[in-house]
Structure 1
């Protein structure tokens, strides 16, 4: 295991309060641009960086120990592949994060203990309502591709929003079954598991399609999905934002579906974390912020 480069991160912070994004890989992340924009706009003292942390408990545990012993470290964000693994390594986890079973935001308390939170569900549903204001959760089933940490947040948000049926489609069926068991509400609504090779058929009569897998991300295999059975009125959301306009979104838009890219989910999920680390009220998501964070993604 290569040790994470804590010294470079501390040097870049230069004595200021700081937070950072943790992932493997992590260079693609736009979180530094997001929080850097808010820090600059508010003229707040602080720094937000990135830290490459290999998969496996040892490297992530070392990262959390670094935050605990570093008073100016305010916390971190977690991206793939650390969101689920983090649960067992933190001092406390909020009820929402425990229910979702994944953490994307870590906050260092004054006593040095670390609290795990999940703001992905908030970010997802906020971005969906902003990008598709006419979408009615109760009107039609939703199809979710994937069953990892992001899918857990998405499914939690959809169940809470009142979607009548959520269809889970994942390459590993048992993982999807576990997710369905975790989130099936007790009010008669259903979470249905569909086999990956039936993903095209699962789109019939859906009102929303959400891709939470890494398929279609730059450097990853493409998402092979025929959209013929998807109703033209359905909304298509891809949580991938590198590239901003994934092949899924391009094809969906060409056939008349309203599309929501993954960038706004990133922007909205960052709001609670920023306020926890750097103080003040939650910052706003604006068109200027989106342009600044998108950079060469094309927004």
Structure 2
């Protein structure tokens, strides 16, 4: 059994079982990748992939289990390499950070700028994605760490560490009649055009479900992809929006006003995502603690090394 066989199997799975695409990622030829897979199967004495002709179309049950352990083996190799580099005093490298639009724009920007200034030889690469996709990037080793909302489902091989709980606000243009209400209720909110996150996303689905649970039908006039779109449409007078409190700044969002609706909607939880049993660079721990003091290295290492 060779390390290259594990790399080829995981790359093919990550490429949607497309051997040609996996070969490009591995800087290899398609026949070479296919040969590695066949040799691996022959050594194990079991089919890992169901094929239609020569084309893989599905993982077998054994294949799915082998992939899970192959990822762990490759992760261990990455850990060995990282520990050796640290021990040799090597500086620099690249940290890939996966995060949501809201966190990248409203929470991490200043921390990233300060980090880059402090560690000019370390490259911070930011990848924006939806929460569950952030978790997948971390699980697959394509991102060292993730900072996002709590995903609706956390993969088994990923650790989610909550570090911030944020109330939700209703945001409206200055002087909007909703802001003058003595008490905000779901009924009063439903009386106005709503601008919410896309209902296909957990944040948007949750907001709409709260109205429906109260027997109120709402038809949002805008289902926004990100908070900036919500605030732009609110500023244009097209409706009222519901956003996390950390996404609002009285100084920057001139012309908009907010009211707390924490009594109507559950708060938003932000988490750090890391690979279970993974090794994080010391630079990652420095960066995370700059975001929140609760993200202390010893605590995170303990959580990462725990079994699920």
Give the alignment's TM-score, normalised by structure 1.
0.32
Query: Greater CA radius of gyration, 1 or 2?
Result: 2
Give the alignment's TM-score, normalised by structure 2.
0.31
The structure showing larger relative contact order (alpha-carbon pairs under 8 Å, at least 6 residues apart) is: 2
Higher percent of residues as helix: 2
